[in-house]
Amino acid sequence: AKAQDLAQEKVSAAKNVAFIFDIDGVLVHGDRVIPEGAKTLEILNGQNELGLKIPHIFLTNGSGKPEAERCAQLSKILNSPISTKQFIQSHTPMSALAEYYSTVLVVGGEGYRCREVAEKYGFKDVVVPNDIVAWDESIAPYRTFGTWERASARPRDFSKHNIDAILVFSDSRDYATDAQIIMDLLQSENGRLGTKAKDPVSQRIPIYFSHGDLLCPTEHKYPRMSQGTFRLALEAMYKAITGVELERTIYGKPEKATYTYADECLTSWMEEIHSEKVLPQNVYMIGDNPQSDIIGGNLYGWNTCLVKTGVHQGDENDKENPASMGVFENVLHAIVTVLRKEL
């Protein structure tokens, strides 16, 4: 009976535990699995001494593909089912903006993938820079526009339509063209190309960025510039040309709005896993980047674990943004330590 009581206690304790995983540098490196990541998901999906599913969601600053496609790809790499209901990428919370803006310029990503993402989010009229170049090639003097681009773009007379907001969803593949079009729009009268605003502030359309990461580790020896550097360049150009600061909104980690969104997502996912409403009490964020995952988790009041398989190197905790649970060799070490402590 005692053993049964103990098991029951562990089951109750397990109900309040939940994990939030960063993806790149924790579970995978690009398309390559981190083996301890796959093992971790196996354990949390029920291969543990209690045979219990332990709720977990994924919070990544990744971008550029529809959620369903990214989940299918990750499920395959990690050999565990991953639902879109437990998955948040940098632009996921931006879907809420579809209620406020009808015609939007979506910037970044491969080909027309981000147009597809925005349409899936419910934006009614999604314009991409290629549509504008196809309308007036002189807008981007250094752009060589190929046959494929010309055939696949959706040009219209943009001097007759307003763009309501600019949404940078992913990394720019062509800084010169994208920055030129964004600057033109920011200085226009309410997003009408071919016009110049009399007042740079009141007539300016809003601009949103899906995350603020300056650098991104890739196969190159040194990390490569990411969306954050593109934003810094735009801010500097805008200030130098107009004399006013560019107001902008940034999503993604470590922004609070993204953590609030993740908290809501986790609460519903826990309800689905436990078939009853259980508030996430002992939440553990596991990440490799002190300046994004860890600072955001700490500020939000979650426990944080820093792993050594990505951006952070070495056994020392980060000085400025130390993880509350310390540094771990990998994600498996982190979750095993947490489960030992909690159950």
- Considering only the stretches 22-30, 92-100, 202-210, 294-302, report the one whose residues sit in contact with Mg ion under the rule CB under 5 A: 22-30
- The answer to the question of residue 288 lying near Mg ion (CB under 5 A) is yes
In whole angstroms, the minimum distance from the beta carbon of 342 to ligand G3P comes to 24
Interface residue with Mg ion among 17, 19, 20, 25 (CB under 5 A) is 25
**CA count, 13 A, side-chain hemisphere, 139:** 23
Nearer residue to ligand G3P within complex by CB, 184 or 318: 318
341, two tokens: 């402590």
Contacting Mg ion (CB under 5 A), which of 24, 36, 213, 255?
24
CB closer to ligand G3P out of 129 and 228: 228
The owner of tokens 């981000």 is 114
Contact region with ligand G3P (CB under 6 A), list: 21-29, 128-136, 181-189, 295-303:
21-29
153 binds ligand G3P (CB under 6 A): no
Question: Which segment (7-15, 59-67, 186-194, 300-308) binds ligand G3P by CB under 6 A?
Answer: 59-67
Candidates 8, 96, 16, 24; CA nearest to 278 is 16
Q: Which stretch binds ligand G3P (CB under 6 A): 16-24, 99-107, 115-123, 148-156?
A: 16-24
Q: CA 276: distance to chain centroid?
A: 29
Amino acid, single-letter form, for residue 182: I
CB of 62 to ligand G3P, least distance (A): 5
Choice between 87 and 158, CB closer to ligand G3P: 87
Give backbone dihedrals phi and psi of 243, rounded to 5 degrees, phi first.
85, 0
Q: State the CB neighbour count (10 A cutoff) for residue 173.
A: 13
Q: At residue 126, what are phi and psi to the nearest 5 degrees?
A: -105, 115
Residue 286 engages ligand G3P in binding (rule: CB under 6 A): no
Question: What burial letters (b/e) apply to 300-329, b meaning 16+ CB within 10 Å?
Answer: bebbbbbbbbbbbeeeebbeebbbbbebbe
Tell me whether residue 157 is exposed, middle or buried, using C-beta atoms within 10 angstroms of its C-beta: 0 to 12, 13 to 18, 19 or more.
exposed
For residue 57, the partner it binds in Mg ion, ligand G3P, none, with Cβ less than 5 to 8 A by kind, is none
Q: Which is nearer to Mg ion, 197 or 327 (CB)?
A: 327
Q: Closest approach of Cβ 61 to Mg ion, in Å?
A: 7
The C-alpha R_g of the chain, in whole angstroms, comes to: 22
Report the partner that residue 184 touches, choosing among Mg ion, ligand G3P, none (CB closer than 5 to 8 A by kind).
none
- Structure-derived torsion over alpha carbons of residues 92, 296, 208, 262, reported in degrees to the nearest 10: 20
CA 132 – CA 174 distance, rounded (Å): 14
Say how many C-beta atoms besides its own lie within 10 A of residue 119's C-beta: 16
User: Which two three-digit tokens encode residue 175?
Assistant: 């800084």
| Cα–Cα distance measured from residue 340 to residue 335, given in angstroms and rounded to the nearest whole number | 8
Q: CB of 25: closest distance to ligand G3P in angstroms?
A: 5
- Residue from 18, 22, 177, 303 touching Mg ion (CB under 5 A): that is 22
Interface residue with ligand G3P among 20, 39, 54, 62 (CB under 6 A) is 62
Answer for the pair 74, 101: CB distance below 8 angstroms, yes or no: no
Of 221-280, binders to ligand G3P (CB under 6 A) are 226
Beta bridge partners of 207: 166
Residue number with CB closer to Mg ion (191 or 290) = 290
Q: In this chain, which of 14, 18, 23, 265 binds ligand G3P, going by CB under 6 A?
A: 23
CB of 294 vs Mg ion, minimal distance in Å: 10
Contact pick of 131, 213, 255, 318 for ligand G3P (by CB under 6 A): 213
What is the binding site for ligand G3P (CB under 6 A)?
A: 22-25, 60-62, 213, 216, 226
Would you tell me which residues interact with Mg ion (CB under 5 A)? 22, 24-25, 288-289, 310
